[in-house]
A and B are shown apart, each in its own frame.
Chain A
Amino acid sequence: GDSVTQTEGQVALSEEDFLTIHCNYSASGYPTLFWYVQYPGEGPQLLFRASRDKEKGSSRGFEATYDKGTTSFHLRKASVQESDSAVYYCALSDSGGSNAKLTFGKGTKLSVKS
């Protein structure tokens, strides 16, 4: 079945540091890829998505580029802020069929100190 593997556990950074969270996927079709962010006490919320090879998704200074060749969708931000502290999930959805369910990675907790 489909699966997503992302940087495990926690990433601890200082403000203005560069962020990379790795995400690799395995899917039989041509999936749509997503990044979700979850703050304490809230459900995950969509950061952005990408549906085609080489498409870049971006929001709030975060970005990721769909790379079909390396089956990757790594999340990057040039300069993190304390307010970016949250759990980040990479996910995929099989866009070829009628199934809209999301398959998630296990999440990466980002902690940013000022």
Chain B
Amino acid sequence: DAGVTQTPRHEVAEKGQTIILKCEPVSGHNDLFWYRQTKIQGLELLSYFRSKSLMEDGGAFKDRFKAEMLNSSFSTLKIQPTEPKDSAVYLCASSLDREVFFGKGTRLTVV
């Protein structure tokens, strides 16, 4: 059984670029989350979807961050334009019955 798949695993972007991170949740899961992970702040929720509907959009991240769920098996997180402070690990997770499974993350470096 495949877990949560995130691509790419690493991304390097120049300041001002647009980047798109991808996520395939576990088949059959109806909740999908995007988190940002940094050493200082830990895990911060960016977006939360239930059955493809946006349930929560992290207030501090609305400006340049946009998550979409195009179908039940694919989600994207777009950052536009990128800034150096966006350098972090971006984790996608999916859930069924409150058991949350995480992908391995995408490490983004903005130079």
Contact = CB atoms under 8 A, between A and B. Distances in A.
A49 B104 CA distance: 21
Interface in B27-56: 31, 33, 41-43, 45, 48, 50, 55-56
A98 interface: yes
Contacts, number: 51
A95 B97 CA distance: 10
A93 B103 CA distance: 19
Interface residues of A, number: 21
B69 interface: no
Interface residues of B, number: 22
Interface of B: 4, 31, 33, 41-43, 45, 48, 50, 55-56, 91, 93, 95, 98-105
B42 A99 contact: no
Interface string A73-113: 00000000000000001000101001111111111000000
Contact of A107 (B42, B45, B48, B103): B42
A106 B41 CA distance: 6
B104 A99 contact: no
Contacts of A89: 42-43
A101 B43 contact: no
Given A104-B42, A104-B43, A93 B104 contact: no
Contact of B33 (A32, A98, A101): A101
A50 to B, nearest CB: 12
Interface in A24-58: 32, 41-46, 49
B42 A46 contact: no
A32 B102 contact: no
30 contacts: A32-B98, A43-B4, A43-B91, A43-B93, A43-B102, A43-B105, A45-B102, A46-B100, A49-B98, A49-B99, A89-B42, A89-B43, A93-B98, A95-B98, A99-B48, A100-B48, A100-B98, A100-B100, A101-B33, A101-B48, A101-B56, A102-B33, A102-B45, A102-B100, A103-B45, A104-B42, A105-B42, A106-B41, A106-B42, A107-B42
